[in-house]
C-alpha cells in the first residue's frame, strides 16, 4: 500500500519522486533497467539528447547542476536548417547541451531519496481504480506483482498506459513514429541539423553529432510508410553532403504533438498525468525536457497541500504551461507551412553566416 504510485522514471517521473519521496510513501515503476551499469541496451531511449535553454533554466531553478560525465562531445551552438523541397538553407544560433540520454536518466534517478521504492524492469500491465484505490499489476523478474496506491501519476510517455486506462476524454494530439539511427562519423559536424520535407512528414527530421557518431532521426506518420519515408530522407540528404553507412543502432518510439492545449490531465479522483503522457511537449520542436520538469514541479506543488483534492490544484498549477502550448501552436505555421517557411527563410531573419571548412 502506497500513498502515491508513479509510472515512469524518466525526467518527469524521477523529478516528482525526488520532490515527494520524503513526504509520502512512494512507489516508482520503470520498464527500463536504469540500475544496471551504463551502456546496458535495455536502458536506451529514442532521443536526440539535447538539453535546450528552457530545460537548462529549470534545472537551475531546481538547484541542480549537470555532472560532467553526462555531457558528450561536441557542444553545439548552431542549428543548420534545410528545406529539402525548396533547397533553402539557413544557420541559426542556439545553445544546446549535448548529452548521453541514458546517463542523464540514471543521474536523475540517483537523486531520488532512498525512502522511495524504486522498481526497474517493471512492465506495468494493468491499472484500474478499485474501492477508492488504484490497483497496479506489473511484470518484474518473470512474476506478475501487484501494488495499491491512494493516488497515481502517469509519467509513462506518449504511449501512456495510464492515460489509455483511466482517461477516457478525447485528447487532440497527433501521434508520430520517431525513428533514429546511429552511424560512425569520421569528424564531428559543428552543428545540429533540422530538415523539412512536407512530402515525407508534416513534422521534421534531424541529425546530431554525438561522441564519434552521427544520429539521424525523423518524426513520421506511424504506419508501414514510415520506414520508406525514412529511407527517402537519407537519399535526399546525400545531396547536402551527408553520408550514412554501417548503421550501429536503430531506435524507435512514439511521440505526441499536442494540437491544442492539453486538457485531460486528471481523472477527477486521484490520478494525474505529467510529462509527455499529458501532452506536455513542444508542438513546434518536440522539446520535452523543460515541460517534463515543469509539469513535475506543478504536480509536486499540488501534492504539497495533501493528497485530497490535488488534481484540481494541479490543473491550476499548469496554467502557464497551457499558455505556452497555445503560443507554440500559433507559431507552427511559420515553421511548417511551406510558403510561410520559405518566406521566413528567404528573408533571413535572425540567420547567421557560417564559414564552411
User: Is 231:225 a contact under the CB 8 Å cutoff?
Assistant: no
* Predicted confidence (pLDDT) at residue 347 exceeds the cutoff of 70: yes
> Greatest CA span in the chain, whole angstroms?
67
User: Is 5:16 a contact under the CB 8 Å cutoff?
Assistant: no
SS3 120: coil
User: Is 124:156 a contact under the CB 8 Å cutoff?
Assistant: yes
Average pLDDT score over residue span 325-334: 91
Least trusted range by pLDDT, from 210-219, 259-268, 286-295: 259-268
DSSP strand pairing (205-210 vs 192-196) = antiparallel
Taking the C-alpha atoms of residue 162 and residue 138, their distance in angstroms, rounded to an integer, is 12
User: Is 218:198 a contact under the CB 8 Å cutoff?
Assistant: no
User: Is 351:82 a contact under the CB 8 Å cutoff?
Assistant: no
Q: Model confidence at 241, in pLDDT bands (50, 70, 90)?
A: confident
For 24, 85, 208, 249, the CA distances from 205, given in Å and listed in that order, are 42, 13, 10, 17
DSSP strand pairing (26-29 vs 2-7) = parallel
Taking the C-alpha atoms of residue 210 and residue 214, their distance in angstroms, rounded to an integer, is 6
pLDDT digits (tens, 9 = 90+) for 17-73: 999 999 999 999 999 998 876 555 556 788 999 999 999 999 999 999 999 999 999
Only one residue has cell 498549477, namely: 317
Only one residue has cell 497515481, namely: 152
pLDDT at 259: 80
Average pLDDT score over residue span 91-116: 95
User: Is 42:33 a contact under the CB 8 Å cutoff?
Assistant: yes
Average pLDDT score over residue span 122-137: 96
Task: Write the Ramachandran bin of 121: left for phi over 0, alpha for psi from -120 to 50, otherwise beta.
Answer: left
pLDDT digits (tens, 9 = 90+) for 86-96: 999 999 999 99
Cell numbers describing residue 59: 534545472
Q: What is the signed CA dihedral for 332, 285, 276, 268, rounded to 10 degrees?
A: -30
Taking the C-alpha atoms of residue 145 and residue 20, their distance in angstroms, rounded to an integer, is 24
SS3 content of the chain, % helix, strand, coil (to 5): 30, 30, 40
| Higher-scoring residue by pLDDT: 38, 298 | 298
All structural domains of the chain, each given as residue ranges with its CATH number in brackets, are 2-347 (3.50.50.60)
Average pLDDT score over residue span 233-248: 91
Only one residue has cell 520542436, namely: 285
pLDDT at 37: 63
User: Is 8:136 a contact under the CB 8 Å cutoff?
Assistant: no
Alpha-helix runs per DSSP H in the chain:
11-20, 53-61, 101-110, 161-166, 225-237, 289-303, 310-317, 319-336, 338-347
Instruction: Point out which residues pair with 143 in neighbouring strands.
Output: 140
Residue 274: DSSP 8-state:
-
Amino acid at each position: 500500500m502506497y500513498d502515491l504510485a508513479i509510472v515512469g522514471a524518466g525526467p518527469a517521473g524521477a523529478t516528482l519522486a525526488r520532490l515527494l519521496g520524503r513526504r509520502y510513501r512512494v512507489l516508482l515503476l520503470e520498464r527500463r533497467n536504469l540500475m544496471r551499469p551504463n551502456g546496458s541496451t535495455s536502458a536506451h531511449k529514442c532521443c536526440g539528447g539535447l538539453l535546450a535553454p528552457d530545460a537548462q533554466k529549470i534545472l537551475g531553478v531546481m538547484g541542480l547542476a549537470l555532472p560532467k560525465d553526462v555531457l558528450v562531445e561536441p557542444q553545439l551552438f548552431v542549428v543548420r536548417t534545410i528545406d529539402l523541397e525548396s533547397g533553402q538553407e539557413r544557420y541559426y544560433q542556439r545553445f544546446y547541451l549535448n548529452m548521453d540520454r541514458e546517463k542523464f536518466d540514471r543521474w536523475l534517478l540517483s537523486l531520488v531519496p532512498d525512502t522511495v521504492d524504486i522498481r526497474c524492469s517493471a512492465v506495468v500491465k494493468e491499472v484500474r481504480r478499485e474501492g477508492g484505490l488504484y490497483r497496479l499489476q506489473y511484470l518484474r523478474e518473470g512474476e506478475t506483482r501487484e501494488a495499491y496506491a491512494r493516488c497515481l501519476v502517469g509519467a509513462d510517455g506518449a504511449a501512456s498506459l495510464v492515460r489509455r486506462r483511466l482517461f477516457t476524454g478525447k485528447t487532440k494530439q497527433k501521434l508520430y513514429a520517431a525513428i533514429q539511427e546511429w552511424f560512425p562519423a569520421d569528424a564531428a559536424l559543428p552543428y545540429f541539423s533540422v530538415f523539412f520535407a512536407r512530402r515525407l512528414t508534416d513534422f521534421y527530421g534531424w541529425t546530431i553529432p554525438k561522441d564519434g557518431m552521427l544520429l539521424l532521426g525523423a518524426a513520421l506518420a506511424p504506419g508501414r510508410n514510415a520506414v520508406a519515408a525514412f529511407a527517402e530522407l537519407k537519399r535526399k540528404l546525400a545531396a547536402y553532403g551527408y553520408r550514412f553507412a554501417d548503421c550501429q543502432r536503430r531506435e524507435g518510439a512514439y511521440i505526441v504533438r499536442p494540437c491544442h492545449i492539453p486538457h485531460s490531465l486528471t481523472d477527477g479522483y486521484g490520478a494525474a498525468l505529467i510529462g509527455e503522457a499529458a501532452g506536455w511537449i513542444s508542438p513546434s520542436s518536440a522539446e520535452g525536457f523543460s515541460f517534463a520538469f515543469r509539469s513535475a514541479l506543478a504536480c509536486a506543488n499540488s501534492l504539497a497541500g495533501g493528497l485530497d483534492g490535488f488534481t484540481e490544484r494541479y490543473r491550476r498549477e499548469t496554467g502557464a504551461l497551457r499558455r505556452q502550448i497555445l503560443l507554440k501552436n500559433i507559431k507552427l505555421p511559420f515553421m511548417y507551412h511551406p510558403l510561410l517557411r520559405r518566406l521566413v527563410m528567404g528573408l533571413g531573419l535572425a540567420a547567421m553566416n557560417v564559414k564552411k571548412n
